[in-house]
Amino acid sequence: MLHIRLTWHDLTRIGLAPCADPFGEIVASLDLLRRRSGVGAFGWWRQRVRTRLPASMPLLLWLSRTAPELLMPAAGRHDFEAGLTALKELGTIEEALTGSQLEARDPIQALRDYYEIAVAPHWETIRSQVEADREMRAQILLENGVDALLTSLPWLQWSYPVPEGPELGRGLSLVPAYFAAAPTMIGAGPNPPRLLYPAARLGTPAAKPRQVRVPVPSKALAALLGPTRAEALLILAVGCGTSELAERLGVSPSAVSKHTAVLREAGLITTHRDRNTVLHSLTPLGDALLRS
């Protein structure tokens, strides 16, 4: 559970990223590669990418762990090449590496190599799922306001108003990320901090069973919940709708509705409805169960 504090000025400056952020996806995917558990439905991606990682990976893993904001340029961040140019001109990554064992590595080339291997092959999926999430959140904001928007992010706790401070009052940019397994706050300098959060999966073509394997739950989780509900919980680590969940599990939508009702009553998932769209996602308790 991520807890953030918001001032009145923050609440008036909350916004959604206009489109998918390639550098946000880089930061989120590097976090997936570092994790020992809790990768949910992304196990297939991690297994594939780990066999092709470039020699510069230690550099990127170190940066993403110690200073992820250096990998997310404020200028040109929604275009990969423009963002790389901005990072090169700033020189902040090179400055951060000065005096370290990684100083001799080229961070710009490292970013390009990693992007081509880990992110670019999935860009259409990333773009479509991020856009679907944005549309859903924007509709919630339009119809019900900021409170409903922030409440629609089940792993987020927020408090307001709080006293103004030097690190507060800059606003908040919500950045849905396809590869995000957990929310991450990225913030430095005068720009609004960015909250990378797991983008909802709303039944895009890349989520079809022939393209994404259903994750296999542990024996302990299957014994606790039953095999089908355990698989459902793993899939819902990145969120999805009823139809997609039914297709990936190979069961009927009515059967999925029964399974999700049980998981919801147990406090493991939450369900948001927006017109004809239903989105299931993990609660903090469900996320904790997967990580245990």
75, 173: one domain: yes
Going by pLDDT thresholds of 50, 70 and 90, the confidence category of residue 228 is very high
166, 274: one domain: no
Total structural domains in the chain?
2
In this predicted model, what pLDDT tens digit does every residue of 17-31 receive, in sequence order? 999 999 999 999 999
In this predicted model, what pLDDT tens digit does every residue of 41-73 receive, in sequence order? 677 788 888 888 888 888 888 888 888 888 887
218, 184: one domain: no
Task: Please work out, in degrees rounded to the nearest 5, the angle formed at the alpha carbon of residue 281 by the alpha carbons of 61 and 216.
Answer: 70
150, 258: one domain: no
Query: 27-31, 38-42, 255-259, 267-271: which has the minimum mean pLDDT?
Result: 38-42
In this predicted model, what pLDDT tens digit does every residue of 141-179 receive, in sequence order? 888 888 888 888 877 777 666 555 555 567 889 999 999
* CATH (domain of 285): 1.10.10.10
Beta strands in the chain (DSSP E): 2-5, 14-16, 156-159, 172-177, 184-186, 194-198, 269-274, 277-282
Domain end call among 142, 177, 199: 199
CA atoms of 116 and 102, how far apart (whole Å): 21
66, 107: one domain: yes
Domain around 217: 205-291
173, 48: one domain: yes
Burial of 128 (0-12, 13-18, 19+ CB in 10 A): middle
Domain end call among 199, 222, 248: 199
117, 218: one domain: no
Domain end call among 199, 217, 251: 199
What the block records as the tokens of 270 is 């939450």
